[in-house]
Amino acid sequence: MNLGAHMSIAGGLHHAILAAEEVGARTLQVFTKQSSQWRAKPITEADLVRWKAERERTKIGPIVAHDSYLINLGQPDETKWREACEAFRIELERCEALEIRRLIMHPGAHLGSGEEAGLRRIAQALDVVHARTAGFAVRVCLEATAGQGTNLGYRFEHLRRILDLVHEPDRVGVCVDTCHIFAAGYDIRTSEGYARTFDTFDRIVGLNRILAFHVNDSKKPFLSRVDRHEHIGRGFIGSEAFRCLMRDERFRDVPMLLETPKDPGMEVRNLALLRAMRAGETANGAKGETANYANYANSGGEQKQKGQEQKRQKQRQQEQKKQKQEQQEQKKQKQKQQEQKKQKQKQQEQKKQKQEQQEQKKQKQEQQEQKKQKQKQQRQQELKKPQQQKQQRRGQPDRKRASKGGR
């Protein structure tokens, strides 16, 4: 079986792969960004290089992503719905950049608009997002939910309805969460109940639609409609359901991912127990679990796991410190560039001002020169005026004599 777990990306995306390697996981689930925030830090070229290098080195896969819990594609409010669509588009883009081929999401909540209206809204949102991500290889996985509040997806019929409504159903699959379907009313505690549940799923949705499993026990009882995960065999589901799942050859290649509490050493214990169930090494749930965990603890596995966790925590702190230093350096460089830009602008402004002053001075000089020339011409004309008048007076008697001689 392809067993793994959800791992933290604290300190960098590639740290999730390192954490999965430490617990012996063969597959992995991650958030590609902070799940509790709308904004996402861009994936840098350095992030991609480290991610691809660790993925190639460890051969862990397939790697699955989960979207932000803030996104609600069933949202009846138009503005918030459009924001949710855009946020989900970004989730798909990040998966595509990281070459992740499955993105798991909770379908959404109708918030009082009614189940049919909510299901139609979700399908409409998927159509919008698919149109904006044409050609993407990543597929959406509708997660079966526990049915808390107005959340949709707690009935297999809900998943079928969405698949029937979307325009590109081949781009959509399903993720089955064992805790969720148990809390929603599908009793898988016995081999008969397990068989009946998946016969029902096959008839309504189709087993070929299952692209991932979330393998979790339940802290809450059957039909509670409450989503609370527990360690394998320690909750209300018990061991039999997981034994059936581990030996079900129909799901041999489907990623099976733990989302159990992050208690020290328990991830290794849960994976070891599931592998033992697969191998048929547990005679019954309680006895098999106790023996398996005792062997794990006696071999120093729990102490080793704590040491590995401390080492990983130290690496994350160092990585975060390095990132902080890089950010501070980038901030200083940016401030320096801004100061240089301001200084350059100031110099250009001063130069421009100086040129304008010189131009004004030149214009003023030209105007003064023109004024002087004009005054000079006026004086010359004033000097010529008496001479012209004298010449005019001399010429007058000659004209008189000329006129007498003519007579």
Domains, the chain, ranges and CATH?
3-299 (3.20.20.150)
Position 78 pLDDT exceeds 90: yes
Q: How many CB atoms lie within 10 A of CB 328?
A: 10
pLDDT value of residue 281? 56
| Residue of higher predicted confidence among 318 and 43 | 43
Min mean pLDDT across 252-256, 297-301, 315-319 is at 297-301
As beta bridge partners, residue 66 has: 104
pLDDT for 324: 79
What is the phi-psi region of residue 60: left when phi exceeds 0, alpha when psi lies from -120 to 50, beta otherwise?
beta
Average pLDDT over every residue of 105-120: 98
Would you place residue 339 in the very low, low, confident or very high pLDDT band (cuts 50, 70, 90)?
confident
Which pLDDT does position 294 carry in this prediction? 47
Helices (H), 24-114: 45-58, 78-97
Would you say residue 282 has pLDDT above 50? no
- So what's the pLDDT on residue 42? 94
Give yes or no for residue 24 having a pLDDT over 50: yes
Report the C-alpha gap between 238 and 63 in whole angstroms: 27
Q: What percent of the chain has pLDDT above 70?
A: 87
In this prediction, residue 332 carries a pLDDT of 86
Q: What is the pLDDT of residue 21?
A: 95
Residue 36's pLDDT band (cuts 50, 70, 90):
confident
Range of lowest pLDDT (69-73, 244-248, 275-279, 307-311):
307-311
**How would residue 313 be classed by pLDDT, with cut points 50, 70 and 90?**
low
CB 48 within 8 Å of CB 86: no
pLDDT mean over 27-52: 94
Q: What is the mean pLDDT of residues 73-99?
A: 98
Q: What are the residues facing 229 on neighbouring strands?
A: 218
Tell me what pLDDT residue 310 has.
67
Spatial contact of 60 and 25, defined as CB atoms under 8 Å apart: yes
Q: Which two tokens stand for residue 110?
A: 């109708």
Q: For residue 382, name the pLDDT band (cuts at 50, 70, 90).
A: confident
Mean pLDDT for the chain? 89
User: Which pLDDT value is given to residue 374?
Assistant: 85
Q: Considering the chain, what percentage of its residues have pLDDT values greater than 90?
A: 65
Give the pLDDT band (50/70/90) at residue 292: very low
Segment (H or E) for 210: strand 210-215
pLDDT in tens, 160-219: 999 999 999 999 999 999 999 999 999 999 999 999 999 999 999 999 999 999 999 999
Rounded CA-CA distance 39/32 in Å is 12
Task: State phi, psi for 276 to the nearest 5 degrees.
Answer: -65, -40
Per residue in 82-93, pLDDT tens?
999 999 999 999
Q: Please give the pLDDT value at position 381.
A: 80
Instruction: Please state whether the predicted TM-score (pTM) of the whole model is above 0.85.
Output: no
**What is the model's pLDDT at position 191?**
97
State the pairing for strand pair 151-152/108-109.
antiparallel
